[in-house]
Amino acid sequence: MSTSTSPSPPPPPPPETAPSPTRRELNKAATRQAISDSTLELLRSKGPGKFTVEDIAEAAGISRRTFFNYFSSTETAIASVTHGFLDTALQQFRLRPADEPILESARAALVELADPMSVAPMAELFSLTQASPLLARSELEAWDHCTEQIIAAARERAAHSPAGDMDELYLRALAGSVISCGKAAMEVWFSRCGTDLSPKSLAILRQLLIDSMGLLGSGFAAPHSSERS
């Protein structure tokens, strides 16, 4: 599509995030982004399930066949947003010191998500997902994928740690619970604040994430109802 008539792009690659700024990969990333953007735009304008792959291809200026070279379905294209969001959390998790309790690492990683840049796409996705089982399922897949990643990260951490072996049940149950609590916090936040991204709203999200990890760490002790934040 673009980049056909550029007279002279300087040969040495400027220091970008990509370690291989070759023209091909750059172009490919651009196309991928264009598809993702067009998909999201159609999602906004027409609503979920109300547009076809051909519509996306046309909006992105590519052929239908090319779309499938990048994503295996519209769901996949949409899920890339969620994956990006959760990968951010994963990244944060991996940065935590290995001797820190997993719950604390998770808490720290999740709190990092309460950031306009990160949550903005997710909040929008949430609002669109509400009335669409089609989207809900790809969301589920994304969360599950993240769970697996956390298990892998935690297992790797355990291997480096002196205390060594964590058993499989502990690992999977904890990872799954952490994700469930993070998800619960997101859901409650969205039901209260919608797509509001103001500092106040984000503070609420942050607190919800902290609270959910607190519940998990205390074994969901007392529902009671008196403590209000």
Partner DNA sequence: CACGCACTTACACTACGTGCATGTTTGCAC
Partner DNA sequence: GTGCAAACATGCACGTAGTGTAAGTGCGTG
Task: Give the interface with DNA as residue ranges (CB under 7 A).
Answer: 1, 3-4, 22-25, 27-28, 31, 52-54, 61-66, 68-70, 72-75
Which residues, including other chains, have CB under 8 Å from residue 207's CB and lie 6 or more apart? Answer: 229
Site size with a second copy, rule: CB under 8 A: 45
CB of 58 to DNA, least distance (A): 10
Q: How far apart are CA 213 and CA 110, in angstroms?
A: 9
Partner whose binding site includes residue 59, from DNA, a second copy, none (CB under 5 to 8 Å by kind): none
Q: What angle do CA 39, 44, 47 make, to 5 degrees?
A: 90
Partner whose binding site includes residue 215, from a second copy, DNA, none (CB under 5 to 8 Å by kind): a second copy
36 burial class (0-12, 13-18, 19+ CB within 10 angstroms)? buried
| Site track for a second copy across 145-174, x = CB under 8 A | --x----------x----xxxxxxxx-xxx
Q: Which two tokens stand for residue 116?
A: 């306009």
CB of 171 to DNA, least distance (A): 32
CB of 130 to DNA, least distance (A): 20
Q: Is 68 in the site for a second copy (CB under 8 A)?
A: no
Partner whose binding site includes residue 140, from DNA, a second copy, none (CB under 5 to 8 Å by kind): a second copy
CA torsion through residues 84, 90, 91, 92, sign = positive
Q: Is 97 in the site for a second copy (CB under 8 A)?
A: no
The answer to whether the beta carbons of residues 56 and 39 sit under 8 Å apart is yes
Residues in 183-202 that interact with a second copy by CB under 8 A: 183-185, 187-188, 191
One-letter amino acid for residue 110 of the chain: L
Q: Which is nearer to a second copy, 59 or 108 (CB)?
A: 108
Which H/E stretch holds residue 65? helix 64-70
CB of 145 to a second copy, least distance (A): 10
Q: Which is nearer to a second copy, 43 or 154 (CB)?
A: 154
Q: How far apart are CA 35 and CA 78, in angstroms?
A: 10
